[in-house]
Amino acid sequence: MQHGIRRLAALATVFAVAFAAVYLIRNGTEGLSHLLGNRAQSSGPSYRPEPFTLPDQAPLDLGDVDLLARLDAEYAKLTEAVVPSVVSIDTAGVRSERLIDGFGHQRFRSVPTQGQGSGVIVSHEGHVVTNHHVVSGQKQIQVTLHDGKVFPAKLIGEDRLLDIAVLKIESDGGKFQPLKFGDSSQVRRGQLVFAIGNPFGLGETITQGIISAVERSLSDTQRDLFQTDAAINPGNSGGPLVNLQGEIIGINSAIYTPDRANPGFQGVGFSIPADDVKDTLFSILSRGSPVRGYLGVRMFEGGVVVGVGSGSPAELAGLKVNDVILAYDGEQIRDTTQLINLVQRTKIGRQVQLRVWRDGAEIPLEAIVAESPGESAEIPMPPQGKTRDTQAILNAIGLEVRDLSRNERMRGFTGVVATATSPLGLARKDLRPGDLIVSVNESRVANAAEFYLYLSASAAVQTTTLHLFRQGQPMAIHLPVLPREEAPAPENWENPPGE
């Protein structure tokens, strides 16, 4: 009996040793640890802590990069000084959308609109400068300050030609922190600048760059702009461009992008010089509207004088009907829009030199520019053919446009988009669906209703210039004056894909 037990114990011992040997071969030393019970059971993989030592010193001391350290601190100091004066602007309104049914009948419907932009406080009383296109056609305007406070604002005045609007923050007392205007005539290429605004509605953002050029223009209707490579994106419109002293040297207004559908910053942004902005600001605050230079002539395309106002600077200078203005104040005249722009920019009371073509010879004249009387100016109109109503004029031109969408406005675009042309209309050869039209002659357009108003008023009496962007490229289209016969009705509109 005892012999049997010993044999059984020996077999059990041999079996245990064999099992342990096989387990050790398959699982290594970890298997042995498990086997001996020296390690708690675990369902996950084992981990052994890694030794590490982090550095406790920077590669360089600030003293080694003293200039960069001071520059870094000064950038931050500049930002802290100017950002409290920059505001975010939110707008809401209603635009009119023109619809035409299959029978050629038109109607208008109201469509709610919203927009965003930036602005800068320029007075202790709370006056804000922004772009005209940020608030154009909007009924409700509110501004958000640096500290998050939100106030309603009212429109004090606007300058469509310059693309500037002046707002007033409506609050119960309290002073605001404004920024000072700098001397933009002293701005030079290569100068360091900072752009502040509210891109894409994200809130306060500051970017740094240089002045890339000082005499840029997107069309003949605009004054010279500053070009900068400081990042300007949709929503930055109306924000300030500042110098190293934190002075306003420009108001950011536009960007260049080759893709209108998917715009993005390409290193080319544009700002309105501060001197022009300040002149308009003072005029609006003191008189409610900008002051424009005035000669008192009515012209067709090419600088041909077709009317001279009685007692106007043009009449006093000796201009006559059928004169062709070749040069104004030393600058060659390319078209009527350019001449109008030059006159409107001239300081009131300044004497300018004119060079005109009359009866086969060039003659010099001198004129003293006066202040524009606005709509009260009476300048003779050239004789016209049969009078047309507004709809007949638009039918003859044969161009359909739409307002910009909210997303397009947020991306910084202004104007209207061509959507269709009539095969019998005057616009069929030169206009294409998708063209972004920004102005009619010297007048910027903010929506479709405004575009049709300006177009119908101009097309029946003179050659009409449309300034537009096509695939990101600026260009001007000249529509001829309407022929005297009645206009045909539109039919077979050509609509682009996706419209």
Q: Which residues are catalytic?
A: 133, 163, 237
Residue 248: name the closest of 192, 181, 189, 188 by CA.
181
Residue 106: name the closest of 307, 372, 401 by CA.
401
C-beta separation of 217 from 254 below 8 A: no
- Tell me the C-alpha distance between 428 and 421, whole Å: 6
- Tell me the C-alpha distance between 279 and 284, whole Å: 9
Contacts of 366 (CB under 8 A, 6+ apart): 317, 351, 352, 353, 354
Residue 119: name the closest of 204, 238, 16 by CA.
238
- Tell me the C-alpha distance between 360 and 344, whole Å: 29
Question: Which CB contacts under 8 angstroms, 24+ apart, belong to 443-446?
Answer: 443/160, 443/161, 443/221, 444/132, 444/133, 444/160, 444/161, 444/163, 444/221, 444/414, 444/415, 445/415, 445/416, 446/132, 446/133, 446/136, 446/137, 446/160, 446/414, 446/415
Bridge partners for 92 per DSSP:
114, 140
In Å, how far are 285, 302, 305, 336, 380 from 296, measured between CA atoms?
Answer: 26, 17, 10, 14, 10
Given the DSSP bridges, would you call strands 331-332 and 324-328 parallel, antiparallel or unpaired? antiparallel
Residue 89: name the closest of 122, 135, 34, 37 by CA.
135
C-beta separation of 82 from 244 below 8 A: no
Residue 448: name the closest of 412, 403, 414 by CA.
403
DSSP symbols for 322-351:
T-EEEEETTEE--SHHHHHHHHHHSPTT-E
- Tell me the C-alpha distance between 211 and 359, whole Å: 46
In Å, how far are 412, 437, 495 from 96, measured between CA atoms?
Answer: 20, 17, 20
- Return the residue matching tokens 């829009």: 337
Amino acid found at 346: T
